[in-house]
Structure 1
Amino acid sequence: MTTRVVAILNPARSRADRAVQLVHAACADRGWPAPTLLTTTVAEPGGAQARRAVAEGADLVVVGGGDGTVRAVAEVLGGTGLPLGILPLGTANLFARNLDLPRRDLTGAVRVALDGRLRGVDLGWACYTQQGPVGPVVSDETAFLVVLGIGHDADTVSAVDPGLKRRIRWAAYFLPGLRRLAAAPVDLAVRRDGGPEQQVRAWSLLVANCGRIPLGITVVPGARPDDGRLELALVAPPRVWHWVPIAVQGLVGHRRPVCGLGYRQVGAVRVTAPGGVTIQVDGDPHPEVLAVSARVEPGALMVRVP
């Protein structure tokens, strides 16, 4: 059967040229037409290219880039049933990591992107209200694949130097994170699945679709990208030394009672922060957020996996 492939690549990634060569060769080996190549730009990071792929009747979309590029494409493909193959070319590649996709073996990643089995994966959706110059401004709903962070984890992401991140990759997050370990908690009001509002004080509140980050750390044990639920993780260590058992749990990867950690599963959640707070959506920070709502769309994305 002839398969029409559209490849959406971020040309700024160091392995992008090699990825194009491998996709062309793999399509030729299978007797498929040459793939249509679409490249992203700063102004058009993937969504417009994905809409074009859908409009032109692609049978398979292959996206090559970091988590931001993958998210922009996934946001469009969600709910269409169009298969998505992923070539992890970024720094963290968190979504690919959580799906156990090849990250260093580009040839293997191309093979999985073209021939892997289809897995239905959940999409998270977030909408937030920021303090604008003349009043509150409500965002469009945006997708997230891995995690929505509210509080000091988002401040940490916002403080990372982009140049340092390019040089030392994930390690660039450590120093900004260490500087904030003793930061005062933020006041939040949390409403789960339309229930009563709960007042909490936390270092951070994570709304997770996936649980793993680099270095073998599981920040949200139990979060799975295909269970139709989002996992809330309330991070509120009473003292600085309580970060030690929290860190151990992340390394072990199994949920157990730990002081300063609380978990709940939800289908939807709304969080308000009257004083304003920073949030991050899959690593993209947004400051001065007054309220954020998140929901899950179960099985919305069809991804090629090993």
Structure 2
Amino acid sequence: MTENEPALDSLTALDSKAPPRRAAVIINPAKSGGPALQGAIFRLCETQGWAEPLWLETTVEDPGTGQARQALEAGVDVVIAAGGDGTVRCVAEVLAGTGTPMGLVPLGTGNLLARNLGVDITDPVSACYDAFNGSDQAIDVVKARLNHSDKEQVFLVMAGLGYDAAIMADTVDVLKDRMGWLAYVEAGIRKLPGKPVKAQISVDGGEPVRRRIRSVMIGNCGRIMGGVEIFPDARIDDGVLDLLVLAPRGRLGWLGVVAGIFGRNKNETESVEYFQGKSAEITLEHEQEFQLDGDHLGTGTHLAVTVEPDSLKIRMSI
């Protein structure tokens, strides 16, 4: 090395100086606090040494998938889903299997994934801080196909058909804004009257069981609104799906549902059955409502689901 040549160590130091990390924030503008939250997140990026975030708003036509693809193309370090469970589901559908982590800023009514993971649902800025500074936790994603469609959709918390999905379809938005998750209770009471439908349920490709059901719920994790543990043994990273079949006989049968879900002796009533597996297929005699993570997806007669273990990274405080 001559006297005028720079030291190799100094060149290495210059080359290794990495650009600041950058996040993408995909936000549902219909949720409250958008402009104020945007300012707070921009300031948080500055104080944490992150670059100015890529700010992407969802639309009715594109509730998050297109924005998530744009974020991936930009090469961001983390994609933050700021909205309700619908926004989270759409973003996760794109990020699953990519290795790019998703952060959660809960702004919805249910915020079911955030609740199940223990993410702060009361302070969006605190949740965003955790998305910048937390650790990555791998969780399962469930792929679903409705009515034999070639198109796969995903869910992270729970899918449902029949009574459960009818509640999601019939919950009044105004009541959701005023009452929060209690609006679903009001809809549930209104939808209690109804007729069962014949169903064939196959788990892991096994012999179908035949039931007259009011609802089938498929859980990736256990807790729903109000802190109710529908699937107390479910874990979001165990590679296993939990199924709940509700088959009450008449109005008094709903007492069996309550006992079967909330009682000590679960799965010991005629009205409630639990199953576990890595995949499931449900075929109905007549059309019923369908929902994925609270998103009403219309009606149909067939649902097929398969778990994809550890396929999505969540950036959070652990």
Residues 140, 308 of structure 2: 8 Å contact kept: yes
Residues 19, 64 of structure 1: 8 Å contact kept: no
State the partner residue of 1:296. 307
2:35 equivalent to 1:22? no
- 1:167: Cα distance to partner? 2.2
What is the aligned counterpart of 2:266 among 256, 260, 264?
Answer: 256
Gaps of 5+ in 2: 1-17
Describe the SS at the equivalent of 2:226. Answer: coil
State the partner residue of 2:15. none
Distance 1:190 1:248 in 2: 22
Residues 65, 89 of structure 1: 8 Å contact kept: yes
State the partner residue of 2:69. 51
- 1:208: Cα distance to partner? 0.8
Aligned-residue Cα RMSD (Å) equals 2.0
Question: Given the superposition, is the C-alpha separation of residues 138 and 109 from structure 1 closer, same or farther in structure 2, using an over 3 Å criterion?
Answer: same
2:302 equivalent to 1:284? no
Residues 203, 281 of structure 2: 8 Å contact kept: yes
TM-score (norm 1): 0.91
Residues 63, 90 of structure 2: 8 Å contact kept: yes
State the partner residue of 1:180. 191
- Partner AA of 1:199 in structure 2: R
Segment drifting more, 154-163 vs 45-54: 154-163
**What is the aligned-residue identity percentage?**
37
- Partner AA of 1:297 in structure 2: E
User: Which whole-Å deviations, capped at 9, do the CAs of 1:58-101 have from their partners, x for residues lacking one?
Assistant: 11111100111111111000000101111001111111111110
State the partner residue of 1:101. 119
- Partner AA of 1:69 in structure 2: T
Distance 2:288 2:211 in 1: 14
State the partner residue of 1:226. 237
- 1:255: Cα distance to partner? 6.8
Distance 1:175 1:85 in 2: 31
Question: Given the superposition, is the C-alpha separation of residues 12 and 228 from structure 1 closer, same or farther in structure 2, using an over 3 Å criterion?
Answer: same
Segment drifting more, 137-146 vs 60-69: 137-146
State the partner residue of 2:155. 144
Describe the SS at the equivalent of 1:50. Answer: helix
4+ aligned runs moved over 4 Å, structure 1: 248-252
**Counterpart mapping for 1:101-250 below 5 A:** 101-129=119-147, 138=149, 140-244=151-255, 246-247=257-258
Describe the SS at the equivalent of 1:300. Answer: strand
Question: Given the superposition, is the C-alpha separation of residues 205 and 102 from structure 1 closer, same or farther in structure 2, using an over 3 Å criterion?
Answer: same
Residues 80, 131 of structure 2: 8 Å contact kept: yes
Residues 222, 255 of structure 1: 8 Å contact kept: no
- How many residues are treated as equivalent by the alignment? 298
Residues 46, 69 of structure 1: 8 Å contact kept: yes
Describe the SS at the equivalent of 2:108. Answer: coil
Describe the SS at the equivalent of 1:71. Answer: helix
Question: Given the superposition, is the C-alpha separation of residues 267 and 51 from structure 1 closer, same or farther in structure 2, using an over 3 Å criterion?
Answer: same
Distance 1:73 1:48 in 2: 9
Distance 1:251 1:115 in 2: 38
- Structure whose alpha-carbon radius of gyration is higher: 2
Residues 66, 91 of structure 1: 8 Å contact kept: yes
**Counterpart mapping for 1:45-84 below 5 A:** 45-84=63-102
- Partner AA of 1:295 in structure 2: T
Question: Given the superposition, is the C-alpha separation of residues 170 and 139 from structure 1 closer, same or farther in structure 2, using an over 3 Å criterion?
Answer: farther
TM-score (norm 2): 0.88
Gaps of 5+ in 1: 130-136
Distance 2:265 2:81 in 1: 33
Residues 28, 57 of structure 2: 8 Å contact kept: yes
- Partner AA of 2:166 in structure 1: D
Describe the SS at the equivalent of 2:254. Answer: helix
Distance 2:299 2:80 in 1: 35
- 1:242: Cα distance to partner? 4.5
- Partner AA of 1:213 in structure 2: I
2:298 equivalent to 1:271? no
- Partner AA of 2:248 in structure 1: P
Describe the SS at the equivalent of 1:218. Answer: coil
Distance 1:175 1:33 in 2: 45
